[in-house]
Structure 1
């Protein structure tokens, strides 16, 4: 790996294979109790039929976007696995993995800042894709202002200064999206300026963690309802899971009170667990219609009709925007010798699994991979332990309703857009902590793990 960054690969175009020997009526899916949305019965008989995939095809689809890397830098990160399973077409989630090297006080001992991000988009893939491209560079720029030109400043920077830099980066990027791209569109209406404005029109949650290898401090910045967990094992072998973030939604009483205090006398500011009765996350990037009515004195109603069609109607009771902010809530957690792994995921995973279940699934996967057994945490018999990629393993089991392969087969086989009735886009990253290095690998490199990477990507 060059001194610089390692980035996630782009999305793949999906194609749905068929297994003609077995057809299941969508009526049979109604027995899946985890999913609150049910088929409405409309449409032709063909549209209400699910063509089941074979077991091999199910695995291929689960693995089509997975990747795994060994991180051979001796800086506290051993490996990370990522996986995605689309429900929308195209998938509205995105993710990023990047490391920035900062010169240290001691010669030959630089500090690695490891960034792992999950971006759960809504209303299209545009905002999440923009965040995957731009959020880490924005944060790096602000951190550069904190560190300045002093090669030892990274060791001396206060936690509060780092938090302020990350917050400024989040707000700065969102401000550029809303006022920069939309302002240009309103000044120069065209298809070209509309394309640049799409990340402001759609929206996305953002979860970004930063691990500082110098002091083993983990920062977790969350805007929205994606979630991060830290899995730990104490000296007695007992496992525990620690949430690194709190979901920011219209069901979070602190968020409800914050919004209502900012908009006194507006009982409709949050209703039915949603901002203005419409948006579930209470913090997000983009989502211009919850933030501004006009930009630079110009209204979106003044756009030409062929551009105006890309803008959704203003939410009811939108009187005094902004109602939604991109400002993150940041937590700081020391990563000691008890920390074993971190899981980041879009809310689609947490709709299906509890925090404790996720912890147990990762521990069981680790035991299987190492051919060991955690005595305090025996393997439940209903876990599906067949994936080399830990993130793919979590997605497969999340869809299994407690280890039932038929559920996985059905839920993976449902094509978009019907699949949105039963599950969301799923994006998961699992990061493993430690200092050991693979003696067969070159120190300082990022090594692809082909056994846990989609075959097509492993060849690239």
Structure 2
């Protein structure tokens, strides 16, 4: 796995032989084929410690709309907790479907008029923004007096209001929704397979796989990472906060969070007084209070984190065969290897691979491929903290 003695080991692991190794990997990766057989999925976090369980979530659905069956897929990579990713994966697809359904009209003769490309793109963008507003609305409703109430309400009253886990925890959950976060990567394909839309907030990736007349495969990255390593994103944040030299610090927003766009994370979007007096009063709340206290001092003109997604539309042709969506756990396994997406497509199209699930093929290649010992290490390492990031992969064949 590339760890030297400085990593603190050694740690024990078991070498598994076939077919047990492949069977366990398929089980641990929650490998499935869904959406009428068009979408293969895996979501993988081998560390068995409950506190280290995966914060990734996914969705893959077929929607019956007035012009036929649309296919929706999504990856939500939660951070600091699972609440936002979990809720979004359950609730957001239905909200987007309802918005899209409302875009269809009928002419006087009853003929269905389909939405334009721009209308679908706008629906993706605006529904994500509306959903992020909805995530925090329940929290803000706890303080109808706004910033003034949050600033002047005695801390003991704040704590009594929000720490109600012994009374069902409804208010505490509203706070957790506000302070947890998630990336969002969505794709939509229309019934005829002619149009693909991709919406992205954060650092998940979408790869389009195409095959030319010579049967050669090409991998095209459709997304950019919204994080502090992206110079364009750094410039955007700095331009939105002129004169604030610590708006980006050590490639992190306010020196604290890696992504520059996300759902939730409202400690980076609301006035700092909410974080200082309310969020820090939550029990349980932030895992490391000192880090939060550090970035509060840098927060002057929120929001610092954006909920405006990049929207990409692609006119599909017969040469376009499938799209791969993944959380950043997959790219982490290929860190320092710019050919990563090309390798992912190779893993899927390798006719010698025995895995029928195409997402499982990619995962297997990323954690050792045919090297059974390396794959076994990833599956059986006896360590109380995670040794790899949550990794989720969806492969949608057109």
Bin the TM-score by the shorter chain: 0.7 to 0.9
Q: CA deviation at 1:270?
A: 1.2
Give the SS at the match of 1:419: coil
TM-score normalised by length of structure 1: 0.71
Give the SS at the match of 2:282: helix
Gaps of at least 5 residues in structure 2 are: 145-160, 335-339
- 1:339 and 2:320 equivalent? yes
Task: Find the counterpart in structure 2 of residue 54 from structure 1.
Answer: 16
- The RMSD of aligned alpha carbons is 2.6
Which is richer in helix?
A: 2
Runs of 4+ in structure 1 off by over 6 angstroms are none
Residues in 2 aligned to 1:355 and 1:228: alpha-carbon distance in whole angstroms: 9
Where does 1:344-423 land on structure 2 (aligned, <5 Å)? Answer: 344-353=325-334, 354-364=340-350, 367-368=351-352, 385-400=353-368, 403-415=370-382, 417-420=384-387, 423=388
Gaps of at least 5 residues in structure 1 are: 1-27, 33-37, 42-47, 72-77, 105-110, 369-384, 434-460
Where does 1:71-86 land on structure 2 (aligned, <5 Å)? Answer: 71=36, 79-86=38-45
Q: CA deviation at 1:132?
A: 0.6
Q: CA deviation at 1:148?
A: 4.6
CA-to-partner distance for each residue in 1:58-115, whole Å, 9 max, x for gaps?
43442121101472xxxxxx621101111563210000011211123xxxxxx22210
Residues in 1 aligned to 2:374 and 2:88: alpha-carbon distance in whole angstroms: 33
Q: CA deviation at 1:301?
A: 4.4
Task: Name the count of aligned residue pairs.
Answer: 357
**1:186–1:300 contact (8 Å) kept in structure 2:** no
Where does 1:438-453 land on structure 2 (aligned, <5 Å)? Answer: none
Cα 1:310/1:54, change in 2 over 3 Å: same
Q: CA deviation at 1:399?
A: 0.9
Task: Find the counterpart in structure 2 of residue 67 from structure 1.
Answer: 32
- 1:320 and 2:301 equivalent? yes
Give the SS at the match of 2:3: helix
Task: Find the counterpart in structure 2 of residue 168 from structure 1.
Answer: 126
CA-to-partner distance for each residue in 1:333-381, whole Å, 9 max, x for gaps?
12211111211110111122411111111110xx24xxxxxxxxxxxxx
Q: CA deviation at 1:314?
A: 4.6
Task: Find the counterpart in structure 2 of residue 182 from structure 1.
Answer: 139
Task: Find the counterpart in structure 1 of residue 155 from structure 2.
Answer: none
Task: Find the counterpart in structure 1 of residue 254 from structure 2.
Answer: 276
**2:66–2:104 contact (8 Å) kept in structure 1:** no
Residues in 2 aligned to 1:361 and 1:59: alpha-carbon distance in whole angstroms: 16
Task: Find the counterpart in structure 1 of residue 149 from structure 2.
Answer: none
Task: Find the counterpart in structure 1 of residue 57 from structure 2.
Answer: 94
Cα 1:69/1:177, change in 2 over 3 Å: closer
Residues in 1 aligned to 2:133 and 2:372: alpha-carbon distance in whole angstroms: 46
Q: CA deviation at 1:415?
A: 4.9
Deviates further, 314-323 or 199-208: 314-323
